[in-house]
Amino acid sequence: MNLTDIPALRRYWYPLCREADLDNGPLAQRLLGVDLVLWKSDDGKPNAVRDRCPHRTAKLSRGFVENGAIVCGYHGWAFDGAGKCLKIPQRADPAATGKMRVDAFHAKTYGGHVWVALENPVEDIPVFAEDGDPAWRRIPEFVENWACSALRVMENEFDNAHIEYVHQATFGNTRDPIPAENEIEEFAGGFVARAVVRAANRKIGADYTGATGDLTTRTTVHRYWFPFLRKLELTFPNGLCHRIVTATVPVDDAHTRLVQWVYRNDTDADVPAEKAIAFDRAVTLEDKDILEATDPYVPLRDYMTAERHMPSDKPGLIMRRMLVAAADAG
Ligand code: FES
Ligand SMILES: [Fe+2]
């Protein structure tokens, strides 16, 4: 069983791009193996329909936006955000036009990003209390595709054992491989993992936290929302909070769209956004390098036996268990 074999995953919201990415016309995306075209209507609302014209299959993303509709670049058929054909330039009869449709999906903006659900969502997007609160700034970080499984990326986020080895140039390599233990509390639809993580404090990290000394700690409150969303709340010893929202969106079974932004309770004068981003950039590229060297197939039904595990793998095992339960529920 692969991720794209689980129909329940179609009923969740996934961020695919930043709002501003739709300012210059239609954008092609893929979600759970489904090719989509996203665009913005004249009122600024995002739309998502299948990226395949019902006339001769041309990709609608190769077309253009006119009067808020997506227009196919091949023969000019136009569709609205509900998938309804508004215009067939070659036919005067509006009845013929009205019968043509393209599959349409749910789309909305939140947290500066455009989110899509392929079917009626069973959960709303979690509310991030920092969003819009003047005590916090929101810094967009990454929107990019990785050549690996979305599940492996999300499991990795909660894996304290890899830090020492993978993050050698950033906050790992402290000469102590014993990982911080996650204290896990499950809730309906996810879990919270709490830990105090030891971290090397190299220049790149000191730039980002303002902490001094060779070694520091991060108190972490780390929420996971099924299936591919997390929020990592990091508190540094000086009281600075750096809260990372990451979605590891399944583009298909072998590709992930990594979408990440942060909330911080400091100002650009304290730590410039570029420095906050620079540390997370270095960390995520260390992760990407090793994750793209893993098998895109992740065992699900036989997850307890098909790979070997250790105690620090527990968060990922909960995710696998939840995926199997979702597949069984239909
Ligand atoms: S293929 Fe799109 S209008 Fe002909
Ligand atoms: Fe990592």
Which pair of tokens denotes residue 196? 């105090």
Instruction: Return the CATH architecture of domain 3-117.
Output: 3-layer Sandwich (2.102)
- Superfamily for domain range 137-329: Naphthalene 1,2-dioxygenase Alpha Subunit; Chain A, domain 1 (3.90.380.10)
pLDDT digits (tens, 9 = 90+) for 300-320: 999 999 999 999 999 999 999
Alpha helix (H) residue ranges in the chain: 94-98, 150-157, 163-166, 203-209, 273-291, 303-306, 314-329
Using the atom order of ligand 1, give the atom closest to the CA of residue 75.
3
Tell which atom from ligand 1 comes closest to the C-alpha of 77: 3
Each residue's pLDDT tens digit, 92-104? 887 888 889 999 9
Report CA-CA distances (Å) from 265 to 49, 137, 138: 38, 7, 9
List the structure tokens of 161: 């054992």
What is the torsional sign of CA 52, 53, 58, 64?
negative
Tell me how far the alpha carbon of residue 83 lies from the centroid of ligand 1, in angstroms.
Answer: 14
Helix (H) or strand (E) holding 147: none
Which regions in the chain score pLDDT beneath 50? none
**Strand 137-146 relative to strand 255-264: parallel, antiparallel, unpaired?**
antiparallel
Distance of CA 38 to the CA centre of its chain: 16
Kindly give the distance from the C-alpha atom of residue 247 to the centroid of ligand 2, in angstroms, as a whole number.
14
What is the dihedral sign for C-alpha 297, 303, 305, 309? positive
Atom 4, ligand 1: residue with shortest CA distance: 75
Of all ligands present, the nearest one to the C-alpha of 179 is 2
Report residue 140 CA to chain centroid gap.
12
Contact 105, 29 (CB under 8 A): no
Domain chopping of the chain, boundaries: 3-117, 137-329
Q: At what angle do helices 150-157 and 273-291 cross, to 10 degrees?
A: 120
Separation of CA 260 and ligand 1 centre (Å): 35
| Cα 97 to middle of ligand 1, angstroms | 13
Alpha-carbon torsion (299, 302, 307, 310), positive or negative: positive
With the most atoms of ligand 1 within 8 angstroms of its CB, the residue from 37, 55, 79, 90 to mutate is 55
Helix (H, G, I), strand (E, B) or coil at 168: coil
Q: What pLDDT does residue 175 have?
A: 87
The residue behind tokens 């105690």 is 311
Distance 35 CA to ligand 2 centre (A): 29
A 10 A CB-CB count for 5 gives: 12
Which ligand is the nearest neighbour of the Cα of 54? Answer: 1
State the distance from the centre of ligand 1 to the C-alpha of 59, rounded, in angstroms: 9
Gyration radius of the chain's alpha carbons? 22
Ligand 1 center from residue 64 Cα (angstroms): 12
Outline where 170-297 has alpha helix (H): 203-209, 273-291
* Closest atom of ligand 1 relative to the 73 alpha carbon: 2
Q: Which of 70, 75, 102 to mutate to test the pocket of ligand 1 (most atoms within 8 A of CB)?
A: 75
Residue nearest to atom 3 of ligand 1 (CA): 75
Distance of CA 322 to the CA centre of its chain: 18
Q: Which ligand is nearest to the CA of 78?
A: 1
Find out whether 19 and 109 touch, Cβ atoms under 8 Å. Answer: yes
pLDDT of residue 210: 76
Pocket-forming residues, ligand 1, beta carbon under 6 Å: 53, 55-56, 58, 72, 74-75, 77
3-state secondary structure of 78: strand
Mutate to test the pocket of ligand 1, among 37, 51, 53 (most ligand atoms within 8 A of CB): 53
Please name which ligand lies nearest the alpha carbon of 51.
1
**Number of the ligand 1 atom closest to the C-alpha atom of 57:** 1
User: Residue 330's pLDDT is what?
Assistant: 87
Considering only CA atoms, which residue is closest to atom 1 of ligand 1? 56
